[in-house]
Chains A and B, each alone.
Chain A
């Protein structure tokens, strides 16, 4: 899993990470600014793709925590689902 730095147009000019797994974009993390109070500095799973999509996106304390969670989710999903057929 790789984390590519990027700036995200959220209005705060937020720092982000494009998250790749095996050359596929699986998520975009956005670092929360001071406007977010207690969650400031945390990494927000803004869009997640495939098994990482869902209505309750988490905020991670740091990139390591994000990496662990994302990897676990992708592994769990791969264990129960067949690979997606190319159309």
Chain B
């Protein structure tokens, strides 16, 4: 398996052999992490970009009294804090599982972007897709029922992980609790639990023991009103 960041970027721009090699070198410094580790913290004078290579994590914002909003579930190949290259960060990233990430000094990233407009455009596109995901989440939280929100999120996670190759058949790793799902979707744990019970009882999907199992993809998509177009992945399966 190649570098998942290069694989991710390749969905949005065609990379030459030389460009891929340069990116491999750029992502040379690798650091392992464990579940619950803080991968990105705002406010720390960040001079590095963090790229998720293996494992899973979630992006979130914590309010003063402990309430939490999860903003995104990160997949291998994601840059966890691209915004930090230009602006301050307004979120944290915490690990869901064990894994590995690359730490790239901003200087090195800047130097590469200075000489390579293709890679710069690719990163720009990654940011735009991220924004599209946030908009889709807004639509869900604003206008979808609890059942549809959860179904949609499970579809999104499954498609994104399948594209990175870590899904096997009808299942993928997804070590989240009901609290994670609730914090992502603006639901109470009670409502989340009810929906998950229904999805399981109906034979549609199951989130249990660190895995998402999609038992009936067509019904899950229908329940979530899911159309993968917003992910802009030419390779995304229908």
* Partner-B contacts on A (CB < 8 A): 10-11, 32, 35-37, 39, 44, 55-57, 59
20 A-B residue pairs with Cβ-Cβ distance under 8 Å, sorted by A, are A10-B194, A11-B194, A11-B198, A32-B190, A35-B193, A35-B194, A35-B197, A36-B190, A36-B193, A37-B193, A39-B189, A39-B190, A44-B188, A44-B190, A55-B186, A56-B67, A56-B188, A57-B188, A57-B190, A59-B190
Q: Kindly provide the distance from the CB of B192 to the nearest chain A CB, expressed in whole angstroms.
A: 10
Identity of the chain A residue whose Cβ is nearest the Cβ of B67 in the assembled complex: A56
Interface residues on B, range: under 10
Q: How far is the CA of A8 from the CA of B9 in the complex (A)?
A: 50
Q: Is the interface of B mostly helix, strand, loop or mixed?
A: helix
Q: Kindly provide the distance from the CB of B148 to the nearest chain A CB, expressed in whole angstroms.
A: 16
Which residues of chain A have C-beta atoms less than 8 A from B197's C-beta?
35
* Given A37-B193, A44-B190, A57-B188, 12 new contacts (CB under 8 A): A11-B194, A11-B198, A32-B190, A35-B193, A35-B197, A36-B190, A36-B193, A44-B188, A55-B186, A56-B67, A57-B190, A59-B190
B161-219: which residues lie under 8 A (CB-CB) from chain A?
186, 188-190, 193-194, 197-198
- Complex A-B, nearest 6 residue pairs according to Cβ-Cβ distance, in ascending order: A44-B190, A35-B197, A57-B188, A36-B193, A36-B190, A32-B190
Q: How far is the CA of A57 from the CA of B67 in the complex (A)?
A: 12
Identity of the chain A residue whose Cβ is nearest the Cβ of B178 in the assembled complex: A37
Q: How far is the CA of A31 from the CA of B190 in the complex (A)?
A: 11
Identity of the chain B residue whose Cβ is nearest the Cβ of A55 in the assembled complex: B186
Q: How far is the CA of A55 from the CA of B190 in the complex (A)?
A: 12
Q: Kindly provide the distance from the CB of B26 to the nearest chain A CB, expressed in whole angstroms.
A: 42
Q: How far is the CA of A36 from the CA of B186 in the complex (A)?
A: 18
Q: How far is the CA of A11 from the CA of B146 in the complex (A)?
A: 14
Q: Kindly provide the distance from the CB of B165 to the nearest chain A CB, expressed in whole angstroms.
A: 34
Q: How far is the CA of A55 from the CA of B186 in the complex (A)?
A: 8
Which residues of chain B have C-beta atoms less than 8 A from A44's C-beta?
188, 190
